[in-house]
Amino acid sequence: MHAKTEIRDSLVHAARRKSELKVRYRGMLEVHCPVRLTVNDRLETGYNAWGKPMARDKRELSICVLRYVVGVVIVIESVITAIQYQAVAASSHIGLPSEFVLILASTEAAAAILLLIPRTLKIGAIALIVVFGVAAVVHLLHGQYDIGNLIIYAAATWAVMANSTS
């Protein structure tokens, strides 16, 4: 083990115990000093300056909440659209087969479920952004310019993907 790693581990151990660190230099000099972890040690170990486990910071918590809110809302809206796909396709007058709406809604729901699972978050986020892009293009090509919700969902999904710690 490297000396730097040993020293850091000693610091972390001493900080957790709220004790002083005893440092010997070549067996001759012993120094006692109260220990506080540096910012880098706190980030690496998950402990604050006094050796207690760090609470999640606000940014990480807000991204987690955003992920679950976006995921659940999209799953619910996609399932509703998939159940009523024939009525949605008929009322929108887009000229595409009603099965297209069913496939798009089903894909959107599956991608949103993947977004909710930490291991598949990035795959789900990319798939959702692609689905939102396809839906936006279809709406624009058919003269339906109210795509603000799709843009907001895509931006929120991008933010979750870019800032996730999973």
Give domain limits for the chain. 3-45, 58-163
The predicted structure's pLDDT at residue 30: 46
SS (H, E, C) the chain: CCHHHHHHHHHHHHHHCCCEEEEEECCCEEEEEECCCCHHHHHHHCECCCCCECCCCHHHHHHHHHHHHHHHHHHHHHHHHHHCHHHHHHHHCCCCCHHHHHHHHHHHHHHHHHHHCHHHHHHHHHHHHHHHHHHHHHHHHCCCCCCHHHHHHHHHHHHHHHHCCC
The predicted structure's pLDDT at residue 71: 96
Q: Quote the pTM value.
A: 0.64
Mean pLDDT for each 10-residue chunk of the chain (166 residues)? 57 54 49 48 51 65 91 95 79 73 93 94 96 93 90 96 79
The predicted structure's pLDDT at residue 3: 55
